[in-house]
């Protein structure tokens, strides 16, 4: 991949991760102020917190990549190895964030009823599968 492509990919990942971390942080805040304190709510809180944290790490890893790969930046003659650590951390935390976000979606319906829980779990699994299908189609 070219340096220009990495720059554009980093910008898009920053946008997506920022939006998803904001959503996850909102869920965390809402659960923290609620009076519910059961096992299921705590699992939703944990998955939302993990999701928010991972997406935030991804944002800052991608900001580093964006800064390094921007023409006229602080590193001259940039090569892909200059941002290898940020790339690995950014992509791993982005993927963990996606898993955690879909876990949160899947668990959310179980707080209401078994029927809604089955529906939200199905939606969460389908969402994750479709995300992975579209991501793998991009790279081939």
The answer to whether the CB of 102 falls within 8 A of the CB of 127 is: yes
pLDDT < 70: residue spans in the chain: 137-140
**In angstroms, rounded to a whole number, what is the distance separating the alpha carbons of residues 48 and 28?**
6
Rounded to two decimals, the pTM is 0.86
Query: pLDDT tens digits, residue range 55-69?
Result: 999 999 999 999 888
- What's the pLDDT score for residue 36? 85
Tokens of 136: 């793998």
Of 48, 55, 133, residue with least CA distance to 90: 55
| The total number of structural domains that make up the chain | 1
State both tokens at 53.
């944290």
**Domain membership of residue 126 as a residue range:** 3-139
| pLDDT for the residue numbered 138 | 58
Q: Which of 73, 72, 91 has its CA nearest to residue 1?
A: 91
pLDDT of residue 127: 93
């Amino acid at each position: 991949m070219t340096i220009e492509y990495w720059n554009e990919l980093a910008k898009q990942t920053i946008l997506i991760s920022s939006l998803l971390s904001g959503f996850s942080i909102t869920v965390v805040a809402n659960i923290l102020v609620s009076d519910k304190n059961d096992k299921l709510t705590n699992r939703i809180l944990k998955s939302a917190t993990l999701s928010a944290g991972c997406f935030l790490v991804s944002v800052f890893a991608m900001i580093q990549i964006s800064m390094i790969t921007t023409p006229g930046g602080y590193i001259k003659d940039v090569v892909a190895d200059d941002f290898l650590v940020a790339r690995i951390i950014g992509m791993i935390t982005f993927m963990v964030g996606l898993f955690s976000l879909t876990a949160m979606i899947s668990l959310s319906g179980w707080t209401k009823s078994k029927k809604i829980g089955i529906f939200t779990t199905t939606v969460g699994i389908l969402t994750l599968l479709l995300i992975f299908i579209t991501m793998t189609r991009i790279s081939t």
